[in-house]
Amino acid sequence: MSDQQPNPYPSGNGSPGSPSYGYPQPYPAPPAYQPTVGGAGIPSPAQPPAMPPGPVPGYPPAPVAGAGAGGAGLTIGDITIAGDQIITPSGTMPLRGAMWNATDFSRTETKMPTHAIVLAIVFFLFCLLGLLFLLMKEKVTTGFIQVTVTSGGRHHSTMIPATDQNTFHWVMSMVNQARSLSI
């Protein structure tokens, strides 16, 4: 532009090709809360709790504190909660303070199957009971449920295919369990 009509929207440092309005932003600093892979975020006690002198007959031995920790607690699509972190294909996120959302993008249609029409025509020619085949209906659910999680400055979304009408309720129960773990 000429000197008589300067640019009304100059960039931050005035050089061409530099980002303006603070975009792109640098990658956020790691969170103050650092998750651990080993367990549920609870430090193991310095001394194991007092146990009875011997095993109680008829019962299996008591588990040792910290043994077996670190397994996957919950999996929703490709999102896994293990210990005190959320593991996704795009990286790990802290579990504490995570925000979970689920959106239903499925639909259920009720339609008459093709074989019912064929049977109604064939049996109508032989007897009038063939019209009862027109009462046959089938429900077909298509679509998916989107589950998103945001934590530690990161965001991940996954799609779960809807196989029937109860898929959304099943996914919501898992999302509610994940919400209770992230408090």
Which element (helix H / strand E) includes 74? strand 72-76
| pTM score over 0.85 | no
Structure-token match 């931050």, residue found: 12
User: Averaged over 27-43, what is the pLDDT?
Assistant: 55
pLDDT score recorded for residue 68: 43
Range of the domain at 145: 96-181
Q: Over the stretch 56-108, which tens digit does the pLDDT of each residue have?
A: 565 555 554 444 444 568 899 999 998 889 999 988 999 999 999 999 999 99
CA distance 55 to 59: 8
CA distance 76 to 140: 23
CA distance 35 to 86: 9
pLDDT score recorded for residue 69: 47
pLDDT score recorded for residue 149: 94
Asked whether residue 175 is domain-assigned, the answer is yes
Out of 14-28, 29-43, 88-102, 149-163, pick the least confident.
29-43
Mapping DSSP to helix (H, G, I), strand (E, B) and coil, where does residue 168 land? helix
Q: Which two tokens stand for residue 75?
A: 């999996």
Asked whether residue 3 is domain-assigned, the answer is no
Cis status, amide bond into 24, omega within 30 of 0: yes
Asked whether residue 132 is domain-assigned, the answer is yes
Residue 24 confidence class, pLDDT cut points 50, 70, 90: low
Asked whether residue 170 is domain-assigned, the answer is yes
- Beta-bridge mates of residue 138: 111
Closest alpha carbon to 41 in 83, 10, 2, 77: 83
Q: Which two tokens stand for residue 124?
A: 């109508």
Structure-token match 């650092």, residue found: 34
Number of domains composing the chain: 1
